[in-house]
Amino acid sequence: MIPGYSIRRVEKQDYKGVCEALNALTTVGEVSKAQFDATVDHWNHSLVLPNLLQYHPYVILKDNQVAATGMLLIERKLIHGCGLVGHIEDIAVSPRHQGKQLGRALIDHLTSLGLAHCYKVILDCDESNVKFYEKCGYSKAGVEMQHR
C-alpha cells in the first residue's frame, strides 16, 4: 500500500466516508445509517461457497478517513466447470485524494483477491478509463449494454 494509507474491508463506522467517496462516481441518493448497516450486514453474511463470502467491499484509509472505496462481487456459474467470476464495481476515489494512485492500489487489491478464486475478473467502464485499466493488466472483452 502507498505510504500513509491502509486498506481493509468496509465497516459500519465508514458510513459517511463511503457515501462521500461514492458521490465522486455517481448519484448516491438517500442512504440512511440504518440502510447502510443493513447493507453491510448483508455483504458480511452472504456466501458464494460454503467458505467464501460473495461481497468484498473495501476502503482505503488515511488518518482514519475514507480516501477510496471499491467492491469485488463473486458470481457462481455453471460454465468453466462451475466456475466463479469476479465483478469489480463502484470504484470511487474521494476528490481530496485523487492523483495519488489510490485507484490503482484498489484495483490491484481487488483483482488479486478475485483471481485467487475466479477464472476471470471483469468490470465495466467508460471508454475514457480503458487506458487506466489496461495499465492494471485488463484488456477489452466486450460491450456493456444497459436497460433502464
Ligand X SMILES: CC(=O)N[C@@H]1[C@@H](O)[C@H](O)[C@@H](COP(=O)(O)O)O[C@@H]1O
Write out the residues near a copy of itself by the rule CB under 8 A.
Answer: 18-19, 22, 25-31, 35-36, 39, 42-43, 46-48, 54-55, 71, 73, 75-83, 87, 89-90, 111, 114-115, 119-127, 130, 133-134, 136-148
Alpha carbon separation from 67 to 34, 36, 60, 109, 112 (Å, rounded) = 22, 18, 6, 15, 20
Measured from the CB atom, is 64 or 131 closer to ligand X?
Answer: 131
CA pseudo-torsion sign 91, 93, 99, 103: negative
* Least CB distance to ligand X at residue 18 (A): 14
Assess contact for 12 and 36: CB atoms under 8 A: yes
Of a copy of itself, ligand X, none, which one sits near residue 139, judging by CB under 5 to 8 A according to partner kind? a copy of itself
Alpha carbon separation from 44 to 7, 101, 119 (Å, rounded) = 17, 27, 23
* Least CB distance to ligand X at residue 67 (A): 16
Assess contact for 61 and 7: CB atoms under 8 A: yes
Measured from the CB atom, is 89 or 108 closer to ligand X?
Answer: 89
* Least CB distance to ligand X at residue 142 (A): 6
* Least CB distance to a copy of itself at residue 64 (A): 20
